[in-house]
Amino acid sequence: MFGKLVGKRSGSAADGHVGLALSGERLCAVHLRRMADQPPELLARLDAPGDPARALEALAPWVARHGLRGVPAALTLDYGDYLIQQMEKPSVPAEELRSALRWRLKDQLDYSPADAVIDYFEAPAARQKRIEPVQVVAARASQLKPRIDAIRAAGLDPQRIDIPEFALRNLVSRALNVRETTALLYFQPRRGTLQILREDQFYFARALDQGLEALARGGDGGFSDIDDRIALEAQRTMDYYDSHFGHGPVKRVLVLGGGADLRRLADYVTTALGVPASLVGPAELARGLEDDADTRTLPPLAVGGALGFE
């Protein structure tokens, strides 16, 4: 994604790929080696607190310590650092498509369209196909470029920029090898997301107001109204998918993370919706990734970004 901001250079003696996930509060970097028919192997991990500029300062020593100079790297953006929108594909020549999409998005951007870097992807068609849809992603070039420059200066070879929706898709289809229609629940401290996936294809996502902090407050004495609200949104989302795309119902729900609160939620979703819901811990995403509080937010996005390399 956003190919003009990244590039390719000479290779590295180290194998594997590096995935980075950067939020406003910390950086997570993982060095992975892909394995046939099993989850990837975690070779090294960095967790650095601080705002993006400060956190990225910790990257160069980590790269040097683990001999990762020149290793291909993927940066997964944080929610809020980009806009994703599905729209009808404009009827223009291919060389004019990005300009046409930029013009259509201009009223939804809170910065100058001239500062927007645009990419697009084919979107799944509805059951009654009336338009040719595309998923359009826009981000602020003046924000991304310094981060890519810092990753390159640290010694890595930044070749990909990804977004959480696609990083999470990679986890399901490439780490877990799940191909059937799946609803995935992923939570950060103050927000969550529910997205529908099928056959390595991202369909759509819904933002959730409830995050890990709300789930922790709502768990005293059993199931809570927080669990019920999330389950209700999951039911609405799955019903929309079934009616709009016509591929049949969602077969399973995966809850990404660990701990008692998410286990309680998975149990409630199974009971309330009649769809099997299971907890997916960090060790199932990458061998050697430990299950602790720090692995339940950014590391899955870093792992998913690294799995975006074919």
- The verdict on residue 93 lying in a domain is yes
Q: Which of 3-17, 66-80, 86-100, 270-284 has the lowest mean pLDDT?
A: 3-17
Q: What is the per-residue DSSP string for 24-62?
A: SSEEEEEEEEEETTEEEEEEEEEEEESSHHHHHTTHHHH
The pTM (predicted TM-score) of the whole model is 0.93
Q: CB 207: neighbour CB atoms within 10 A?
A: 11
Average pLDDT, the chain: 91
CA dihedral 309, 168, 198, 34 (to 10 degrees): 40
Nearest Cα to 306, choosing from 43, 23, 126?
A: 43
- The verdict on residue 106 lying in a domain is yes
- The verdict on residue 94 lying in a domain is yes
Q: Which domain holds residue 260?
A: 177-284
- The verdict on residue 40 lying in a domain is yes
pLDDT band at 4 (very low <50, low <70, confident <90, very high): low
- The verdict on residue 165 lying in a domain is no
In this structure, the answer to whether residues 185 and 276 fall within a common structural domain is yes
Residue 35 has a pLDDT of: 80
Q: Per-residue pLDDT averaged across 96-103, rounded?
A: 93
Q: Which DSSP state fits 286?
A: S
Structure tokens at 248: 């049949």
Q: Which residues of 107-132 are buried (b: 16+ CB within 10 A; e: fewer)?
A: eeeeeebeebbbbbeebbeeeeeeee
